[in-house]
Amino acid sequence: MRLTVIGTGYLGATHAACMAELGHEVVGVDVDPDKIAALRAGQVPFHEPGLPELIRKHTATGRLRFTTDHTEAGAFGEVHFVCVGTPQRKDSEGADLTYVDAAFAAIAEHAAEDSLLVGKSTVPVGTAERLAGTLGVEVAWNPEFLREGFAVEDTLRPDRLVIGVRSAHAETILRKVYEPVLEAGTPLVTADFPTAELVKTAANAFLATKISFINAMAELCEAAGGDVGVLAQAIGHDDRIGKKFLRAGVGFGGGCLPKDIRAFAHRADELGVSLAFLREVDAINMRRRDKVVELARELCGGAVLGARIAVLGAAFKPDSDDIRDSPALNVAARLRLDGADVTVYDPEALDNARKAFPLLGYALSAEEALRGADLVLHLTEWPQFREIDPERAASLVARPLIVDGRGALDGDRWSAAGWHFRALGRPAPVEERPLQGL
């Protein structure tokens, strides 16, 4: 089939390459000429494992092309997937639909009458219906559930496909687009517009709630002297709860969960339904960042002014160079504002971090960041940070003090190498715990 993908950011570039992999002829469209030039040259302007190979493969086979021209794309595609951004509005918690509206309008103007315009962006419920009422072309909604870092795998082998359609014709077309995925046994959920839109925001709200739940338990463990790692493992043995998304730490960030829960609560308010608990989910998440800042102050003797702090991690999660709402950089920037001399290292996100936070110091390796540090903060759990040798690290720093903000390091190993090791939601070393019963 001839498909277009409007918006070639994290979602769109992945979707375009994966649709070519499924055998379709695909044109990716973006308003950003630099992005399109890079993609044409087979370069992906962000870090996503497996994606550059796929893009190069299909630009070479000729199945995948990129353009900035909506007219050309409109005339080409039988199905148009809209994958543009839906950031938080500047003036409220709601989603900014400017890009979605513009993209649908631009493609509808040039699309063939019998083509299908499919929204993939995450939108407030009601958007598909509104667009369907204003454009002269059929609309469908097909929300996306991919995770950054696993985007290719999640697109080619998703847990499920969800389509919001208004006609059997639209369903038939989308079944044809995803035929190889469906033949592999992927469940397909066919729904009306509001349900399809709500499935997406509900899924992200549930995931965010799960993370904040375990982080609230981390707060309790800190107050009561418990260990949230053991707690998560124990409750996770219950299949009804499950082990996934129970990693306590500095909390969730990224271009999706934080803005999506805010937009969801905001939209629910507009509909007269309270999702106030999502505001608490957001607040718990933000308190974890505060907690790391407080711990840093405490470990630096009350104030971080003049302290040299090494921050391991800048991306909002490992295997990504995405720094949107990154907890690591938020903490680093706040400590810098408090007068600390902060040096950040990340295997992939340094360029993005430098542009967004030019006042922070940056190192080209973990060793360079650690050299002379008074305190080390581990805030993004890249696998290579787990491989740091604590003894070698102790020989580099000024003071062997480390906070594991991701619950991913082996505390016993670091303590054995002479480090004062602290982790969120876990007991402080024995000599630090207040004496009980006195």
Ligand X SMILES: O=C(O)[C@H]1O[C@H](OP(=O)(O)OP(=O)(O)OC[C@H]2O[C@@H](n3ccc(=O)[nH]c3=O)[C@H](O)[C@@H]2O)[C@H](O)[C@@H](O)[C@@H]1O
- Name the residue type at position 342: V
Q: Which of 18, 221, 256, 300 is catalytic?
A: 256
DSSP string, 244-259: TT---SS---SSSHHH
- Residue from 21, 30, 93, 148 binding ligand X (CB under 6 A): 148
The Cα–Cα gap between 139 and 170 comes to: 8
- Our finding on whether 85 is near ligand NAI (CB under 6 A) is yes
Question: Of ligand NAI, ligand X, none, which one sits near residue 246, judging by CB under 5 to 8 A according to partner kind?
Answer: ligand X
The Cα–Cα gap between 262 and 271 comes to: 14
Site for ligand NAI in 225-264 (CB under 6 A): 255-256
Residue 256 designated active-site: yes
- Residue from 5, 24, 25, 30 binding ligand NAI (CB under 6 A): 30
DSSP string, 183-247: HTT--EEEE-HHHHHHHHHHHHHHHHHHHHHHHHHHHHHHHHT--HHHHHHHHHTSTTT-STT--
Question: Of ligand X, ligand NAI, none, which one sits near residue 258, judging by CB under 5 to 8 A according to partner kind?
Answer: none
Please identify, using beta-carbon distances, which residue of 130 and 413 lies nearer to ligand NAI. Answer: 130
C-beta neighbour count of 156 within 10 angstroms: 20
How far, in whole angstroms, is CA 212 from its chain's centroid?
A: 15
- Name the residue type at position 45: P
What are the residues whose beta carbons fall under 8 Å from the beta carbon of 323, sequence distance 6 or more? 314, 315, 316, 329, 349, 352, 353, 356
Whether 422 and 243 have beta carbons less than 8 Å apart is answered as no
CB of 217 to ligand NAI, least distance (A): 27
Write each residue from 197 to 216 as x if it is in contact with ligand X (CB under 6 A), else as -, in one continuous string.
-------x--x---x-----
Question: Of ligand X, ligand NAI, none, which one sits near residue 12, judging by CB under 5 to 8 A according to partner kind?
Answer: ligand NAI
Sole window of 1-9, 125-133, 180-188, 393-401 interacting with ligand NAI (rule: CB under 6 A): 1-9
Whether 213 and 253 have beta carbons less than 8 Å apart is answered as no
- Residue from 97, 103, 311, 373 binding ligand NAI (CB under 6 A): 103
Please identify, using beta-carbon distances, which residue of 158 and 411 lies nearer to ligand NAI. Answer: 158
| Interface size with ligand X, residues (CB under 6 A) | 21
C-beta nearest to ligand X: residue: 256
What are the residues whose beta carbons fall under 8 Å from the beta carbon of 203, sequence distance 6 or more? 145
Question: Of ligand NAI, ligand X, none, which one sits near residue 317, judging by CB under 5 to 8 A according to partner kind?
Answer: ligand X
Among all residues, which ones are annotated catalytic? 256
- Which residues in this chain contact ligand NAI in the complex, by CB under 6 A? 6-12, 29-32, 35, 83-86, 99, 102-103, 106, 121-122, 144, 146, 148, 255-256
